[in-house]
Amino acid sequence: MRHIPSTLFTLAVLLPAAASAQDAAATQARRVCEAKADQGGITGDNRATYLRECEAGERLVRGEAPR
């Protein structure tokens, strides 16, 4: 029973760090995809679809996609 508070504390410290690393990777993927869409002149609904698909591809490339 004595280890539960220390385990909870450890989780409370580590989880936000992991979440912020994922947010940073998602932001980077978004920037890459927006730049590609800009270069290709993709606009409107096509742009939204392209960004969604591109971000999914970036997650696969970086190994961050759920399996």
Residue tagged 């939204």 (tokens): 48
Structure tokens at 27: 């932001």
Residue-wise pLDDT tens digits, 37-56: 999 999 999 999 999 999 99
Residue-wise pLDDT tens digits, 9-42: 555 555 555 546 567 777 888 999 999 999 999 9
State the pTM of this model.
Answer: 0.58
